Amino acid sequence: MIEKLKQNEELWDLFTKKEEYNLTFSDQDDRFPYYLSCQRDVFDPKVSRFLVENGLRPEYPEGKKFAVCLTHDIDFTYPAKMYTIVETAKAVAKGNLVDAVKMPFSSISKRYNPYWNFREIMDLEAKYNSKSSFYFLALNPGEKDFNYKIENLEAELKFISDHGWEVGLHGGYESYNSLEDLKEKKQRLERVLGKQVIGYRNHYLRFKVPDTWELLSKAGFKYDATFGYSDCAGFRNGLCHPFRPYNLNTEKQIDILELPLIIMDRTLLKDYMRLDFKKAWELIKRLIDKVEQCNGVVTTLWHNNMLAEEQYRKLYENLLEYVSSKNAWISSGEEVFNWWTANVEKKY
């Protein structure tokens, strides 16, 4: 399969992301954004279509036609102080006394904390016979975006993992560029969780092609789910199938599986693409339909704090409803990794 792809120069360059080697420009977080890419048809999984035309036929559990990999990055476990004050003021203004009384306690009481919603998310997903991955930060106090100590979440991590959902690492802002940091954070999360961690996503989707894949592989991760654009949904290297990245410097495949990220919550509405709700939903459906046509895997990212916002929550519920009506196999990164390596990869 890879040999066939090599013979098609245009698709090979897209698959390997040749344009991301030796960059002149990057964005404010040192990322390669879609607006700097030469590729202008990011909603078309071209490379995957080529592979399917050349015989790739992935199968999924119970004969399902395509898969959805649900993931969540946990940047916050309680709202910042400002958030609490603003929401209290809003509740008071609306005359909602019950909410007004509850809100000031939201950052200290788990019961009234809108970001302490892991079990709620699990309950929602279980309704659709699905599971997901939760990627937790393991930052040290003083590091950028330190919001919680992973050691304080031991019971919750074990609850998630014991019920069959996955706990993976959400690498820090600098992790994507440091083997030492990746190893330290992986170990720290594993100590708290009491088991091996195989899945990864970097904070801010920071990622350097091909170096981050090499570092993640060396640090002992089995799969990564970072590879998507922050500023646009779609297929960053034309693929909607899990793949082993190829390093153009060493001319070798890298020993890690990439589950390309197709749809992130914040990309759609106010932060990047600035779509309204209706357009965002249209785009989500369109991307899912494309992946279905290629028997691929749609990897999605909904942050737990965004799920506390009504619009984002509604989009997520619509998405779950839509893919389950299409009879997709909906699961976590870990299960997609296990299935793909055991059942699909060895055939091609």
Binding-site ranges for Zn ion (CB under 5 A)? 73, 75, 203
d(CA 68, CA 285): 13
CB of 174 to Zn ion, least distance (A): 13
Q: Given the complex with Zn ion, which of 52 and 307 has the nearer CB atom?
A: 307
Q: Give the type of residue at 159.
A: F
Report how far residue 135's alpha carbon sits from residue 88's, in angstroms, rounded to the nearest whole number: 29
**62 dihedral zone (left: phi>0; alpha: psi -120 to 50; beta):** left
Among the listed residues 232, 305, 239, the one whose alpha carbon sits nearest the alpha carbon of residue 272: 232
Comparison of 156 and 292: residue with beta carbon closer to Zn ion: 156
Smallest separation, CB 137 to Zn ion (Å): 7
Least Å distance, CB 164 to Zn ion, is 24
CB of 246: closest distance to Zn ion in angstroms?
27
- Nearer to Zn ion by C-beta: 218 or 266? 266
Q: Decide whether 29 or 154 has the Cβ nearer to Zn ion.
A: 29
Separation CA 165–CA 195 (nearest Å): 13
Residue with smaller CB distance to Zn ion, 31 or 290:
31
In angstroms, what is the minimal distance from the CB of 74 to Zn ion?
8
Strands (DSSP E) contained in 120-189 are 133-136, 166-171
Residue 32 or 135 having the CB closest to Zn ion? 135
Q: Please identify, using beta-carbon distances, which residue of 181 and 292 lies nearer to Zn ion.
A: 181
* Closest CB 73 distance from Zn ion, rounded Å: 4
By CB atoms closer than 10 A (0-12, 13-18, 19+), residue 326 is middle
Smallest distance from Zn ion to CB 51, Å: 31
CA distances from 184 to 104, 171, 172, 219 (A): 35, 10, 11, 9
Minimum CB distance to Zn ion, residue 124 (Å): 21
Residue partners of 103: CB distance under 8 A and separation at least 6: 84, 87, 88, 91, 112
Give the nearest residue (CB) to Zn ion. Answer: 203
Look at the alpha carbons of 234, 239, 245, 251 in this order and tell me if their dihedral is positive or negative.
negative
Q: Which is nearer to Zn ion, 60 or 272 (CB)?
A: 272
Nearest to 109 by CA among 130, 84, 87, 86: 84
Cα 275-280-281 angle, rounded to 5 deg: 155
DSSP 294: T
User: How many CB atoms lie under 10 A from the CB of residue 140?
Assistant: 12
By DSSP bridging, strand 246-247 and strand 166-171 are: unpaired
Query: Quick one: 73 or 181, whose CB is closer to Zn ion?
Result: 73
Shortest distance, position 180 Cβ to Zn ion, whole Å: 20
Nearest C-alpha neighbor of 306 from the set 72, 125, 68 = 72
Task: Give SS3 for 303.
Answer: coil
